[in-house]
Amino acid sequence: MKAIAGKRGRHIPLSVYGFLFVLPSLAGCMIFVIVPFADALRRSFVNGITGNFVGLFYYREIFANQSFLAALMNTGRFIAYCVPLLIVSALFLALLLTKSVYGRGSLRASFLLPMAIPVASVALLWQMLFHHSGLMNGLLLSLGIAPIDWMRTNWALGCLIISYIWKNIGYDMVLFIAGLGGISPALYEAASVDGAGAARQFFTITLPCLLPTLFTVTVLSLLNAFKAYREAYLVAGNYPHGSIYLLQHTLNNWFTALDIEKLSAAAIVTALIILVLVALLNAGWKMDAELQ
């Protein structure tokens, strides 16, 4: 094993240096993530007053709770809509901005700007657009159309999806552009010589070569979908319209009510759902890679 000469001629293995470099991040992860998660796991099986072990009692409680089930369904619906839309939109923009398009650099920067805007500012912008007296209803009135209560009807889910895509599309686009930059132009030249059109080149060259990037983008988009609660909470509060009442609303309301045991059980279930989804994605990508 390679080593670096330290003071007084002592040789320190590179692995020690590597461990020292990651130690601050490892310590932060242990203190702020692993230990609290382990405590939440413990609390989900223990009565908070008596300290007695109650088994799966709180898990049965949350799955019998209609509010939790509705929030779970809404979160699943939101993810099913917004993640595919985000990935397709980001990939389309990445393909477009890797071509010789006028103002390509400015366009790339403009799509990245939402990442630099604080969440509170995004919520304020959202209110300006979709408030009952906001810009969208002003535009409808100018066209002779009756205003819509965007945040108190089923339109609220569409507004949240638009906000999520607008906020995250630039980040995913950059990842796709990096992935496209790693594909050899010689592959496209050879395909063109063989008479392959743009569509065939996309499905036989671009998409297979982008699979590792696509997996990363999908996982990050999935995780970011669970953060869309921030905008919904800042705009509509603890109890928004039913279509955008998400899992995090339920968790926040139980935290406010100091119902820590149910909150812990719901947090563990949410973590398991994310873990299963990521594991399924990973298995699917590995299977696809083996078939190719």
pLDDT tens string 28-42: 989 988 999 999 999
61-291: CATH topology is: MetI-like fold (1.10.3720)
pLDDT band for position 290 (cuts 50, 70, 90): low
pLDDT of residue 73: 92
87 against 189, higher pLDDT? 87
pLDDT of residue 265: 92
- What stretch of H or E contains 69? helix 66-97
pLDDT band for position 8 (cuts 50, 70, 90): low
In 3D space, the residue among 62, 117, 14 whose CA is nearest the CA of residue 273 turns out to be 62
Provide mean pLDDT across the span 169-192. 87
Domain ranges of the chain: 1-43, 61-291
Q: If 0-12 CB within 10 Å is exposed, 13-18 middle and 19+ buried, where does residue 58 land? A: buried
283 against 101, higher pLDDT? 283
User: Where do the H-state alpha helices sit in 117-210?
Assistant: 119-130, 135-142, 155-181, 185-193, 198-201, 207-209
pLDDT of residue 211: 86
What percent of the chain clears pLDDT 70, i.e. is strictly above it? 92
DSSP state of 46: B
Least confident of 64-73, 89-98, 255-264, 282-291: 282-291
Are the C-beta atoms of residues 266 and 59 closer than 8 Å to each other?
no
Least confident of 79-88, 110-119, 173-182, 265-274: 110-119
* pLDDT single digits (tens) 192-202: 888 878 888 88
pLDDT at 104 over 70: no
pLDDT of residue 1: 46
pLDDT of residue 63: 92
pLDDT band for position 289 (cuts 50, 70, 90): low
The reported pTM is 0.81
pLDDT at 6 over 70: no
Average pLDDT, the chain: 83
pLDDT at 85 over 90: yes
Structure tokens belonging to residue 51: 């300290």
pLDDT band for position 7 (cuts 50, 70, 90): low
